[in-house]
Amino acid sequence: MSVRYVVDRVGVLGKLQRTATGGYRVPATLAREGVLAYSDGKGGTVRHYNPPAVLEAALTDLQDVPVTFNHPAKMVTTQTYRDVAAGHVVGAAAFTAGHIHATLAIQDAQLLQAIEAHVAREVSMGYSVEYDDTPGVTEAGEVYDVIRTKISWNHIAIVPEGRAGRSVRCMLDSQDIPTDEAEVLYKIDGAEVAQDNTQAAIDAVCGARDAAVAQVAALTDALAVATSDAALDAAVQKRIDADAAAVAAAAAVVAATARRAAVQLSFPQIALDGRSQDYIDALFDARPVIDEALAGLVAPPVVVVVPPVARVSARDRMRAAQAAQLGAKSDE
């Protein structure tokens, strides 16, 4: 029978639910049955079998297990709890569909900030196992090298996503997590950083998030001002004023064209090309005075009365002719 300290990455947090104190209550998957492969530290792998019965027997041991932000340097004890605990398992854990499920209550402000920034969302279990190194095959046909006989949970770490994804598993031979774990790389916001720089990366991402939140707040305030009743009224009045100015400008053009036509009609002898609008307006305004002055300089027309010519009828002409002949004969 052997004992090993194990660190498993088992998945991501579920849907967050805000608590009355401002923390989060969140469901999480903590372990699964079946065969899990680990590095043997020599370039090979060792396959551990998690029997369902062993997982079910360990459910009670999960009650009130502490939650930590990343794995602590040593296993959590009563002496280290105050320094490393960021929350705990709340309520009873359950074993369904081959997985252990539990609800985590997280209260630590720094961890909450990392979760909200999507920097730390993966669950990694820290626990001790007792196992029998007799190989075998599971009922499902999976080959294993050792079979676990007992699991003792120590803590549940919320960590950045592992460089090899959620299938990452590592098994450590000592009771303490070694100091050279800082050489392991994690992906934070798309960039790989050493674990000893994890906090700096988290701080940078959280700072960028805070700046984005502040910018959103500023834009929200600006939108509120821009859509206020006073702003809308001012915009409408500005549009009305602009439309009135456009109408006035168009009316001025029409009036200027009409004045020019009237002046050209009144004074056809004056060439208006090249003349300013002020010149044309002056002529337009002076038309009545000029027309009156010109009327006084023109002589009144001479009226010639031709008397009517008397018309003589043919009968009168004949009588006149006869009278003339009779007068000539009497003279003889």
The pLDDT of residue 331 is 58
Task: Tell me the pairing of strands 122-132 and 146-159.
Answer: antiparallel
pLDDT of residue 276: 87
Q: How far is CA 208 from CA 105, 112, 158, 202, in A?
A: 26, 16, 21, 10
Structural contact between residues 57 and 129, judged by C-beta atoms closer than 8 angstroms: no
Which H/E stretch holds residue 238?
A: helix 229-266
Cβ neighbours of 272 (radius 10 Å): 13
pLDDT tens-digit profile of 36-56?
Answer: 887 766 777 888 999 999 999
Q: Report the SS3 class of residue 268.
A: coil
Q: What is the pLDDT of residue 195?
A: 45
- Token reading at 39: 């590095």
Cβ pair 119, 30 in contact under 8 A? no
**Gap between the Cα atoms of 146 and 3, Å rounded:** 11
Model confidence at 291: pLDDT above 80: no
248 contacts: CB under 8 Å, gap ≥ 6: none
Q: Answer for the pair 128, 54: CB distance below 8 angstroms, yes or no.
A: no
pLDDT at 270 over 70: yes
d(CA 24, CA 115): 10
More confident residue, 104 or 292: 104
Look-up of token digits 């961890």:
111
With bands split at pLDDT 50, 70 and 90, how would you rate the model's confidence at 89? very high
Tell whether the model's pLDDT for residue 184 goes beyond 50: no
**Residues 29, 7: contact at Cβ < 8 Å?**
no
- Over residues 199-213, the pLDDT tens digits come to 555 566 666 767 777
Collapse the DSSP code of 212 into the 3-class scheme (helix H, G, I; strand E, B; otherwise coil) and give the result. helix
pLDDT of residue 205: 61
Residue 23 CB neighbour total at 10 angstroms: 20
> Which stretches of 46-176 are DSSP H helices?
52-57, 81-84, 109-116
Instruction: Kindly state the average pLDDT of the residues 248-276.
Output: 84
Could you report the per-residue pLDDT of 148-161, keeping only the tens digit for each?
A: 999 999 999 988 86
Question: With 90 as the cut, is the pLDDT of residue 275 above it?
Answer: no
Average pLDDT, the chain: 77
Q: What is the distance, to the nearest Å, from the Cα of residue 320 to the centroid of all Cα atoms in its chain?
A: 123
Contacts from 200-203 at CB under 8 Å and sequence distance 24+? 201/119, 202/113, 202/114, 202/117, 202/119, 202/120, 202/160
Output the DSSP codes for 16-83. -EE-TTS-EEEEEEEEESEEEEEE-SSSSEEEEEE-HHHHHHTTGGGTTPEEEES--SS---TTTHHH
Give the C-alpha separation, 102 to 107, whole Å.
16
Per-residue pLDDT at 268 = 82
User: Residue 327 — pLDDT band, cuts 50, 70, 90?
Assistant: low
Query: What are the start-end ranges of the H helices in 80-162?
Result: 81-84, 109-116
Poorest-pLDDT segment among 115-119, 194-198, 307-311? 194-198
Out of 85-99, 173-187, 202-216, 311-325, least confident range: 173-187
* Residue 17 contacts residue 108 (beta carbons within 8 Å): no
Please report how many Cα atoms fall inside a 13 Å half-sphere around the Cα of residue 226, on the Cβ side: 6
